[in-house]
Structures are given as C-alpha cells and as structure tokens.
Amino acid sequence: MARLPRLVVPNQPHHIIQRGNDRQLIFRDAADYLFFLDRLREGSRQFRVAIHAYVLMANHLHLLATPSNEQGLSKMMQWIGRHYVPYFNHKYERTGTLWQGRYRATVIDAERYLMMCSRYIELNPVRAGIAQTASDYPWSSYQHHVGIKPDPIVSDHQMYWMLGNTPFDREAAYKNLIEQGVSEQDVRLLSEATLKGWPLGSDQFKQALERQTQRRVRPSKRGRPIRSMPGESL
C-alpha cells in the first residue's frame, strides 16, 4: 500500500524521530553534537519552527516542535541535512546517506500529550542506560526546562508555562514530572504513533484534524471498506 503523505499541521506540536542509516552513529564526538545543534537553532528560526524539546542520541534524535506552516518542518529537516551530512561525511571520510530514510513524525494533542512527549524525549538517555538521570546527559533540552542552563534553541510551549506562575515554580514542577518518569505504555503509545505517522490524541482531537485537513488521520478498521475524506484520493 502506498504510504500516505506525511501529516503536518501548522501551529500544532509534532514529535519527530530521525535515525541513522542501519542505526549507525550520527554523532561521534562533542563537536558533532554542537555543530548539529547550531544548525538546528539556525534552521528552526529560518523556517519558523518552534523547538519545545529535543535529545540527540548517538544514532538517532528526537524533536518536539511546532511549525508555523505546512512546509516549515520538512524544509527545516532538509536544510539541516544539507549542512550536517556533508560536514559529517567530510570529517569521517565517508560517502553516501547518513539517515535511515525520511524522518518520522506525528501530530500531538498538546493538552493531553505534550508534557508526556517532552519527558519521553528527555528521559531517552536514561531508558537507554547511558545516563542515570536526565540532568547527567548534556545533549538535550532538560537543563533548560529545570533552570540549569538557558537554551536559545528552546521555545517554551504554553503547556510548560502553565506549570507555574514563576520560572522557579515551572522548573520545580517540571523536575517533579521528570522524576515521575514515563510509563512503558506511554512509551509504546508515542513510539508507535510516531513511527506509523498517525496523530496522538483524543477522538475529538482526531476528528478536528480530519475536518481541518480534509484527509483521514486514523487507520481504517480491518474488514471494512476505506471511506475517503472529502478531497482525498485513495
């Protein structure tokens, strides 16, 4: 079956995963992480994509981001790739692709899942066993969210601002959320939604997306014919 076009909805948060080809390393030393983060900062500003959370792992990366238009997210990712891949290939005397196909993304229902997604992203090093706590890992947005080090890449989402009336209140509340962790069920839920490209949210949220985008945003039920949304060709 042909893959549906990637769903990008302006002014809605998206969870993005980009993996290295065959799970190979895409970051080998600190300079690589810093170079990528500089490109992420420049690209997000150029293409008007707000970055709410991120983590760079050795062979993949996660972003939580809100694009201001339908093209901004893909243009940002392409722009970063056009700068980072030649840098990486030249430095390590290699050729060819670095990424495992196109990046994966899903639209997130901010009210229900944005803070969970942010925690999921920043706890990735802990789940992978390469850091005991989120604060031990330098290549994520965690230190920004708990007030250790401001990060110019990060644009705080409204849901983060709702954690408290002062920066101290928000930072303390966020640290408490991180300490609560993310359940295995939520990890699977978010991972599957992102890899399959289906939005993560309530039925009402998905219905609103279908009305807004005029396309199906949920898997069709097995054994029943697929009904197209208005304006969608199957």
Distance CA 26, CA 202 (A): 35
Alpha-carbon span 153 to 174, nearest angstrom: 18
Residue 76 CB contacts under 8 Å (≥ 6 apart), including other chains:
43, 44, 46, 47, 49, 67
Domain borders along the chain are 14-196
Strand ranges of the sheet holding 49-56, from the earlier edge strand across to the other edge: 49-56, 60-67, 14-19, 104-107
* Residue 7: per-residue pLDDT: 87
What pLDDT is stored for residue 6 in this prediction? 80
pLDDT in single tens digits along all 234 residues of the chain: 345 578 899 999 999 999 999 889 999 999 999 999 999 999 999 999 999 999 999 999 999 999 999 999 999 999 999 999 999 999 999 999 999 989 999 999 999 999 999 999 999 999 999 999 999 999 999 999 999 999 999 999 999 999 999 999 999 999 999 999 999 999 999 999 998 888 999 889 988 988 888 888 877 666 554 444 443 433
* 14-196 is classed CATH 3.30.930.10: no
Is beta strand 14-19 parallel, antiparallel or unpaired with respect to 104-107? antiparallel
pLDDT attached to residue 138 = 96
Give dist(CA 63, CA 61) in Å, integer.
7
